[in-house]
Amino acid sequence: MYHQATWDEPLIIEKSQAGKRGHIPTGPSDIERKIAGDLGSAVPMALRRNGLPPLPEVSEPEVIRHFVRLSQENYSPDLGIYPLGSCTMKYNPKSAELAVSTHKLEKLHPEQDESTVQGMLAMLFRLDKILAEITGMSRMSLQPAAGAHGEYLGCLIIRSYHRSRGELEKRTEMIVPDSSHGTNPASAAMAGFKVMVVPSNSEGMVDLEELKKLAGPNTAGLMITNPNTLGIFEKNILEIAKVVHQAGGLLYYDGANFNPLLGKVRPGDMGFDIVHLNLHKTFATPHGGGGPGAGPVGVTKELERYLPIPLIGFDGKKYFYDYNVPDTVGKIRAFHGNIGILVRAYAYITSLGAEGLKTVAETAVLNTNYILSRILASGTYDLPFARARKHEFVLSAKKLYDSTGVRAMDLAKRMLDKGVHAPTTYFPQIVDEALMVEVPETESLADLDQLVEALLGVYREAQTNPELVKDAPHYASVRRIDDVKASHPKTLTLHWNNPTLLENRKVSNEEISSQESKSRLTSPPSR
Amino acid sequence: MAQTSHPFIPNSSDQLRNSMLRVIGIGSLDELYSDIPLEVRLNRPLKVDGFASEQEVRSSIEQLFKENKSGSDYNSFLGAGIYNHYIPAAVKAIVSRTEFQTSYTPYQAEISQGLLQSLFEFESMIRDLTAVDAVNSSLYDGSTALGEAARMAVRATGKYKVIVPRNLHPDKLSVLRNYTEPVGIRLEAFGYDEETGGPDLNDLQSRLDRETAAVYCEVPSFFGTLDADVVRIPSLCHEKGALSIIGFDPISLGGLKPPGEYGADIVVAEGQSISSEMNFGGPGLGIIGCRGENLLRQIPGRLIGMTTTINGTDKAFSMVLQTREQHIRRERATSNICTNEALLGIGAAAYLSLLGPKGLHDLFESILVKTRYAIKRLQELPKASVPRFETQHYQEFVVAFKRAPGITSKINRRLLLAGMHGGKSLVGDFPELGESSLLCVTEINTGEAIDRFSGLMTKLLRGSR
């Protein structure tokens, strides 16, 4: 049985003791001080801080022990399987970490003269070409910092495209499937589009007839992931592309689920106009506990004219910043992108090559289907929609909930006791009591078997000892967290010195119940 | 298929694959793809080189990077948004813990307490430094933080005009346009004083009206100036029902007044300087914080809260107010952000814990002294005005050359030959300043390096006409 470390580690501010410090910054020399002169007037009175900044006072060993203890209270892919659906939690090869640990990258400033960063530009130029080949697109922007950031760039390009045709005024609608990632509708809305939702059919794919009804003169585009979030390949993709294109819209590929298609199918060949990749998913760069990631965006030849500036060019002798992008959207972040992540992805791709990338895709699909077959053979969870799945699948624990009162969230929490991460829960929203499982290619057969045992084990426990499951986790660093209390206006605590920001606010019963019902979507039921 | 597996892919050997295929009940891998129409399948290998050994991969990247001249090879005076500061070894050790580095967003809070507590501490420390009510766990970078802040202000006020300083980093302005134009937010710029570089409050007041959602201002400014008048802007905003957004430099808060103390409603920053090396400009650390409940409901991204376990026995941490976010609220979310820059947030928490009150103050003072030292040294430059603006500076300052067009780039080229990076040329983006560049000095620049730089600059300016 797994037991996570529990340190009862205090807040670092509670470890603070006057007079301690953990680092001495380099001060100026005496001569610098002398020439700099008296600092009495160096800062305008109105801008001067009163006293020293309020920070903890801790020595270096105490800081290290604090954060290392905290790190032990954190499950990660380096500890075990992490089947978080749609997040592609692969093992991250360590060679990529060595590739970025050099002053030749760390000490590069983004405004340096081109002539001094030729190696860096060469790599970015090559990465553009490689990712364009992998996706079947014409050219990439490496600027976006994450998948959702790439989606937003895609939406800006779609706006620019329609504007250039004098149609922006009327093309106000972005279509997304009801199974789409939450970022798709959020990105479209951020870019000013009205979100139109196309329902799934009984097979779990886009309902073509409904799509035909939605697509028309107001359609700006369709944002879709393929395979979709159920793990089902949208086999009508060419027909979908035709419907959207005939309506005058553009087709956007959300690359969050691209892992199973590497070297097998390219978005460009499926008719997509714009594509983003999540390098932190498909290309094995570390997720950083939430980030940094990178979300390069590829486009067709026709749309290259809208890409952010600068692109990287090569004149046969040297690499250069290419600002010659006629209708560029400008910039979507400062400087050139999350370079540290781009370099890791480059190292990963070089380790695998064409053959290796294809093996990645096939093995991810093999692993996922192995798990699914074993689960289906057990006669436990239901699998709504068609059987054929690629990188992930979504189980429903609805039957179990109806008979035992144990929810998908409870099952997820109990899985934590078994030394595995839980699947994504309650997503996509078209599956009741959803458990979304994705197992990438980096998991061994023993890991997969452990996950199967965990999924089946918690199911059996829910039937025989439901309280044990509802009360889980028992072996994580802490027991089940009170999420309702965490977000409740009366008890919300966002800061260590100001226990409740909204302490004195009068809260109506209506607000409390609405807060509770919302939080049930993602949280365990209230006590 | 292969006899032996790829090092990253345990189940890629023939034997293992076959046994797994038997469990699935199919004969070949191809059957797993049989639902994909033939027309969309790629019927050739990708044209991607590779399948190299770890040693080969590493040496090919080293070979490529050999051609880069880094800040360690050069005497550099570049800043303008990304800064070369000393990052303590302990910060690097902490962000290299793979428990932090390889995990993802802490959806399962009970096994992610380490990440959650670290980010809660990051949020608390930035909140303490800036004197606002709440800080989120990161956005992509300083420029997107400004974009999100402008949108937040518009949602909170229902007004659609945002006023920004004329002296704004051009990248930031471009990003801001992309975050505002699609939803109909109008941007206006207010000028700076020609002599002091400070905000032109008359110009600002002529633009600040009841339609204004927010005014953005930076301390120090893009030109490195410390403008006392900035502290008057929040109350000017509030009189018109607008919000004040202040951009700050995290290290400067070792000695500068927290923006919350002079009335900022939203604060934003680029936090690279307190969390990581320059890395050619990315990743960055977008910092955003706000005051008051109204804005809190509008803040984008992850927020970490402190609470307890349901049984009440333990302190615990989790993501809070998630109903603002895309994974629940979809098109009605406050932002589309999902993946952020959490690891740099942990780096910043470690950095601020290590430096503590005295360290951050001393570092601020060190940079202040070095900035003044560099200005004094360069004041001897012939036919140049150093600094261009007559006021106090922190970390950066503008040098204007009273010479024929082209001198800025010519000087920078000559400096490069001598192994030095001059400042960022302001010629294209700020034509009103003529030939000029923005120089940056941090604790990395030694007095001796500054002397060599000023010596060469003097020589170059004497030699050119």
Please compute the mean of the pLDDT values over residues A420-439 and round it to a whole number: 96
- The CA distances from residue B345 to A137, A334, A400, in Å, are 34, 18, 40
A100-351 has which CATH code? 3.40.640.10
Task: Evaluate whether A416 touches A476 at the Cβ level (below 8 Å).
Answer: yes
Does residue A345 register a pLDDT over 80?
yes
Q: For residue A184, with 0-12 CB atoms within 10 Å meaning exposed, 13-18 middle and 19 or more buried, which class applies?
A: buried
Rounded to whole angstroms, the Cα distance separating A288 from A76 reads 10
Rounded to whole angstroms, the Cα distance separating A120 from B457 reads 28
B82-91 tens-digit pLDDT: 999 999 999 9
Task: Evaluate whether B402 touches B382 at the Cβ level (below 8 Å).
Answer: no
Does residue A506 register a pLDDT over 60?
no
pLDDT confidence band for A295 (50 / 70 / 90): very high
Task: Evaluate whether A296 touches A279 at the Cβ level (below 8 Å).
Answer: yes
How large is the greatest C-alpha to C-alpha distance in chain B, in angstroms? 83
Residues of A in contact with B327 (CB under 8 A): 182-183, 427, 522
ipTM value > 0.90: yes
Alpha-carbon distance A301 to nearest alpha carbon in chain B (angstroms): 19
**Token duo for residue B38:** 């033939």
A185-241 tens-digit pLDDT: 999 999 999 999 999 999 999 999 999 999 999 999 999 999 999 999 999 999 999
**How would you list the strands of the sheet with B266-270, edge to edge?**
B134-135, B286-290, B266-270, B243-248, B212-219, B161-165, B186-190
Please tell me which residue of chain B has the smallest CA distance to A269.
B40
Beta carbons of B110 and A481 less than 8 Å apart: yes
Q: Where are the alpha helices (DSSP H) in B25-110?
A: 54-65, 89-95, 98-101
Beta carbons of A71 and B99 less than 8 Å apart: yes
Rounded to whole angstroms, the Cα distance separating A259 from A365 reads 9
Q: What percent of chain B has pLDDT over 70?
A: 99
What's the confidence (pLDDT) of residue B223?
98
Region of residue B338 (phi > 0: left; psi between -120 and 50: alpha; otherwise: beta): alpha
Query: Is the CB of B409 inside 8 Å of chain A's CB atoms?
Result: no
Classified as helix, coil or strand, A275 is strand
Q: What percent of chain A has pLDDT over 90?
A: 93
Which amino acid would we find at residue B423? G
Does residue B383 register a pLDDT over 60?
yes
Q: For residue A323, with 0-12 CB atoms within 10 Å meaning exposed, 13-18 middle and 19 or more buried, which class applies?
A: exposed
Rounded to whole angstroms, the Cα distance separating A152 from B336 reads 8
Rounded to whole angstroms, the Cα distance separating A174 from A186 reads 11
Does residue A522 register a pLDDT over 70?
no
- Tell me the CATH architecture of domain B89-351: 3-Layer(aba) Sandwich (3.40)
pLDDT confidence band for A112 (50 / 70 / 90): very high
**Token duo for residue A63:** 């800081």
Among B20, B90, B320, beta carbon nearest to A64: B90
Does residue A244 register a pLDDT over 60?
yes
Residues of B in contact with A337 (CB under 8 A): 281-282
Does residue A525 register a pLDDT over 90?
no
Which of A133, A153, A378, A150 is closest to A262 using CA atoms? Answer: A133
Does residue A505 register a pLDDT over 70?
no
Among A41, A347, A478, beta carbon nearest to B61: A347
Beta carbons of A42 and B368 less than 8 Å apart: yes
Which of B341, B345, B171 is closest to B274 using CA atoms? Answer: B345
CA angle, B46 then B48 then B49, to 5°: 140
Beta carbons of A97 and B96 less than 8 Å apart: yes
Domain boundaries of chain A, sorted by first residue: 1-37+56-74, 100-351, 353-470, 485-520
Does residue A139 register a pLDDT over 60?
yes
Residues of A in contact with B81 (CB under 8 A): 334-335
DSSP B319: E
pLDDT confidence band for B138 (50 / 70 / 90): very high
Beta carbons of A71 and B97 less than 8 Å apart: yes
Does residue B334 register a pLDDT over 50?
yes
Domain B75-84+356-463: which CATH class?
Answer: alpha beta
Residues of B in contact with A26 (CB under 8 A): 86, 366, 443
What's the confidence (pLDDT) of residue B230?
98
Number of Cβ atoms within 10 Å of the Cβ of A61: 10
Helix (H), strand (E) at residue A350: helix A339-378
What's the confidence (pLDDT) of residue A499?
53
What's the confidence (pLDDT) of residue A511?
46
Among A67, A151, A289, beta carbon nearest to B350: A67
Residues of A in contact with B341 (CB under 8 A): 145, 288, 290-292
Interface test with A, best of B44, B126, B140 (most A CBs within 10 A): B140
Does residue A524 register a pLDDT over 50?
no
- The CA distances from residue B392 to A362, B193, B381, in Å, are 62, 14, 19
What's the confidence (pLDDT) of residue A514?
47
What's the confidence (pLDDT) of residue B464?
60
What's the confidence (pLDDT) of residue A498?
60
Residues of A in contact with B278 (CB under 8 A): 106-110
A353-470 has which CATH code? 3.90.1150.10
Among B39, B74, B357, beta carbon nearest to A55: B357
Which of B247, B236, B249 is closest to B175 using CA atoms? Answer: B247
Does residue A404 register a pLDDT over 80?
yes
Rounded to whole angstroms, the Cα distance separating A200 from A18 reads 61
Q: Where are the alpha helices (DSSP H) in B310-383?
A: 326-329, 342-378
B61-75 tens-digit pLDDT: 999 999 999 878 889
Beta carbons of B314 and A54 less than 8 Å apart: no
What's the confidence (pLDDT) of residue A517?
42
B271-329 tens-digit pLDDT: 999 999 999 999 999 999 999 999 999 999 999 999 999 999 999 999 999 989 998 88
Residues of A in contact with B6 (CB under 8 A): 352, 356, 359
What's the confidence (pLDDT) of residue A501?
40
Rounded to whole angstroms, the Cα distance separating A328 from A143 reads 13
Interface test with B, best of A9, A71, A78, A102 (most B CBs within 10 A): A71
Q: Which of residues 263-302 of B touch A (CB under 8 A)?
A: 270, 277-284, 293, 296, 302
Task: Evaluate whether B416 touches B273 at the Cβ level (below 8 Å).
Answer: no
Beta carbons of B307 and A483 less than 8 Å apart: yes
Number of Cβ atoms within 10 Å of the Cβ of B39: 9
Classified as helix, coil or strand, B220 is coil
Alpha-carbon distance B294 to nearest alpha carbon in chain A (angstroms): 11
Among B32, B86, B342, beta carbon nearest to A369: B32
What's the confidence (pLDDT) of residue B72?
83
Query: Is the CB of B97 inside 8 Å of chain A's CB atoms?
Result: yes
Among B61, B133, B228, beta carbon nearest to A47: B228
Residues of B in contact with A492 (CB under 8 A): 305, 320-321
Beta carbons of B42 and A265 less than 8 Å apart: yes
Interface test with A, best of B40, B43, B390 (most A CBs within 10 A): B40
Does residue B139 register a pLDDT over 50?
yes
End-to-end distance of chain A based on CA atoms, in angstroms?
A: 27
Helix (H), strand (E) at residue B440: strand B436-440
Rounded to whole angstroms, the Cα distance separating A425 from A397 reads 10
DSSP A14: G
Rounded to whole angstroms, the Cα distance separating A358 from A234 reads 20
β-partners of residue B316 are B307
Beta carbons of B316 and A98 less than 8 Å apart: no
